[in-house]
């Protein structure tokens, strides 16, 4: 483990230096971004709290460099080709694949940013109101093994839109705003691929945890921090909770009506397609907030201790994934009592690991670990 830790530390420093250099080689920048995202993923959910802390610190620097060196803007401004034939397909396929790779690297970095609010007590680096990006394309295009296969897929009618829309991907903020529209409840649900669903549900969770954190941070270092706050203190208004629940409802309708949304059973879908657990995560989070259960309890323990919150969030996640693997599909309303009982049990027993506790690290995301 010491060898792995030393490699992580050395590689991070080298990547920071490389990213800081001016480069006109777009392919080199993409490879650096992929390497950064890989190392950050290893560190973000590492079993060693120190490595998680290092990953959190480096994330801010790397996200800033993505902005300063133009990487984020380049992925956003890319213009898809308007005319693709058999002669131009090989060249355009390679150019598009390079662009999609860069876009997906940025998407992973953005997911890391969301996790800082959800699993830890950290403010996001990518500004909630200013940052925007293009969402990943459908898997069929991404996994096409030849230019001819790619072109054939593009020429087929698709629920994801026109050729240009499918190549470029929908905008994050515009898509999220549509989920927040009340009239979309009765309208045709959005059609999105699983990875886009994963990003959008993380955005909703990020906003919920970020707003709670911002409301409670002023208490730290004041006399209020030493005594529990009142149970009726509203850190997030009822109106805002209703807005978030509407977003969750519209998200679920989109998930249920989209063509590639995977089913859950004993074998989980691919990692980036595992968006459904975070829908249930959001329902548990809102219920915990309304009941003033951890990490939304009246004391500041889970606000000042990132480690305590991280372990609790991983415990939520483990139970949700286990529920889905067993084929759980019951509406949320029928799970309220069960969830309340489970969370109160955790609240009364503290953070002591139980006999069936999964390892708190990256492998905990995958079945059989």
Shared domain check, 159 and 21 = yes
* pLDDT (average), residues 146-169: 96
Q: Say yes or no: 22 and 107 in one domain.
A: yes
267 with 283, same domain: the answer is yes
Contacts 24+ apart (CB under 8 A), 314-317: 314/119, 314/358, 314/360, 314/364, 315/346, 315/357, 316/281, 316/284, 316/285, 317/277, 317/281, 317/364, 317/365
Beta carbons of 198 and 272 less than 8 angstroms apart? yes
Q: Are residues 139 and 34 in the same domain?
A: yes
Token pair for residue 108? Answer: 């992973």
Residues 180 and 165 in one domain: no
What confidence category does residue 298 fall into, taking pLDDT thresholds of 50, 70 and 90? Answer: confident
- What sign results for the dihedral spanned by CA atoms 280, 346, 265, 111? positive
At 171, phi and psi to the nearest 5? Answer: -75, 140
**Domain interval for residue 211:** 170-369
> Is 90 exceeded by the pLDDT of residue 363?
no
- Say if residue 210's pLDDT is above 90: yes
Q: Is the pLDDT of residue 138 over 50?
A: yes
DSSP state of 233: -
Most confident among 62-66, 162-166, 266-270, 298-302 (mean pLDDT): 162-166
Residues 8 and 63 in one domain: yes
The pLDDT score that the predictor gives to residue 328 is 58
Q: Are residues 179 and 243 in the same domain?
A: yes
Does 135 share its domain with 241?
no
Cα–Cα dist 135/166, whole Å: 10
pLDDT at site 239: 93
With a cut of 90, say whether residue 194 has pLDDT above it: yes
Q: Is 299 or 58 the better-scoring residue by pLDDT?
A: 58
Write down the pLDDT at residue 58.
84
What is the Cα–Cα distance from 114 to 118, expressed in whole angstroms? 6
Mean of the pLDDT values across residues 18-36? 83
On average, the pLDDT of the chain sits at: 82
Residues 130 and 274 both lie in one domain: no
Query: Looking at per-residue confidence, does 351 or 248 come out higher?
Result: 248
Choose one of 143, 169, 195: the last residue of a domain: 169
Predicted local distance difference test score (pLDDT) of residue 282? 94
DSSP sequence for 73-113: HHHHH----S---TTTHHHHHHHHHHHHHHHHHHHHHHHHH
- Count other Cβ atoms within 10 Å, centred on residue 27: 11
pLDDT confidence of residue 232: 62
Per-residue model confidence (pLDDT) at position 230: 57
183 shares its domain with 37: no
Q: What is the pLDDT of residue 228?
A: 53
**Is residue 348 over pLDDT 80?**
no
Q: Which among 1-10, 286-295, 338-347 has the top mean pLDDT?
A: 286-295
pLDDT, one tens digit per residue, over 246-271 is: 999 999 999 999 999 988 765 777 77
Q: What is the pTM of this model?
A: 0.85
CA–CA gap between residue 167 and residue 36 (Å, rounded): 25
Residue 337 in this model has a pLDDT that exceeds 90 = no
Looking at 19-23, 56-60, 80-84, 135-139, which range is the least confident one? 19-23
Residue 96 has pLDDT above 70, yes or no: yes
- The answer to whether 258 and 192 are in contact (CB under 8 A) is yes
Q: What average pLDDT score do residues 83-95 get?
A: 95
Last residue of a domain, one of 169, 186, 201: 169
Out of 8-12, 46-50, 144-148, least confident range: 8-12
Considering the chain, what percentage of its residues have pLDDT values greater than 70? Answer: 81
Mention every residue, 6+ apart, whose C-beta is less than 8 A from residue 156. Answer: none
* Phi, psi (degrees; rounded to nearest 5) at 310: -60, -45
Distance, CA of 178 to chain centre: 18
**303-326: per-residue pLDDT in tens?**
776 788 888 899 998 888 888 877
- Are 34 and 68 within one domain? yes
Please give the pLDDT value at position 241.
94
Which of 136, 169, 202 terminates a domain? The answer is 169
Domain count, the chain: 2
Give Cα separations from 133 to 97, 107, 140, 234, 324 (angstroms). Answer: 17, 8, 21, 33, 30
- Tell whether 323 and 199 lie within a shared domain: yes
Query: What is the band of 365 on the pLDDT scale with cuts at 50, 70, 90?
Result: very low
């Amino acid at each position: 483990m010491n060898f792995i830790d030393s490699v992580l530390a050395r590689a991070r420093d080298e990547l920071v230096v490389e990213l800081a250099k001016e480069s006109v080689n777009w392919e080199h920048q993409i490879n650096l971004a992929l390497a950064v995202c890989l190392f950050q993923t290893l560190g973000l959910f590492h079993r060693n709290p120190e490595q998680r802390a290092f990953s959190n610190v480096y994330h801010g620097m790397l996200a800033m460099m993505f902005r300063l060196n133009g990487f984020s803007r380049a992925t956003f401004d890319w213009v898809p080709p308007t005319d693709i034939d058999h002669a131009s397909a090989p060249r355009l396929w390679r150019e598009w694949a390079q662009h999609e790779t860069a876009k997906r690297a940025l998407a992973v970095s953005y997911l890391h940013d969301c996790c800082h609010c959800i699993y830890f007590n950290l403010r996001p680096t990518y500004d909630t109101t200013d940052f925007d990006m293009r969402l990943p394309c459908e898997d069929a295009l991404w996994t096409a093994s030849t230019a001819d296969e790619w072109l054939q897929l593009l020429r087929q009618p698709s629920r994801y839109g026109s050729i240009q829309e499918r190549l470029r991907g929908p905008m994050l903020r515009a898509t999220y705003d549509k989920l927040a529209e009340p009239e979309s409840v009765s309208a045709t649900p959005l059609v999105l691929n699983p990875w886009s669903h994963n990003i959008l549900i993380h955005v909703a969770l990020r906003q919920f945890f970020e707003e709670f954190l911002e409301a409670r941070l002023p208490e730290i270092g004041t006399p209020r921090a030493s005594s529990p706050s009142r149970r009726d203190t509203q850190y997030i208004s009822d109106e805002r909770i209703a807005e978030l629940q509407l977003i969750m409802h519209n998200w679920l309708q989109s998930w249920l009506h989209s063509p590639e949304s995977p089913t859950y059973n004993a074998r989980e879908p691919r990692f980036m397609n595992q968006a459904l657990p975070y829908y249930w995560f959001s329902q548990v989070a809102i219920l915990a907030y309304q009941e003033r259960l951890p990490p939304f309890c009246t004391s500041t323990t889970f606000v000042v201790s990132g480690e305590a919150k991280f372990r609790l969030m991983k415990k939520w996640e483990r139970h949700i994934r286990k529920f889905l693997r067993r084929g759980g599909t019951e509406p949320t309303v029928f799970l309220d009592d069960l969830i309340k009982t489970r969370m109160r049990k955790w609240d009364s027993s503290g953070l002591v690991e139980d006999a069936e506790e999964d390892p708190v690290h990256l492998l905990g995301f995958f079945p059989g670990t």
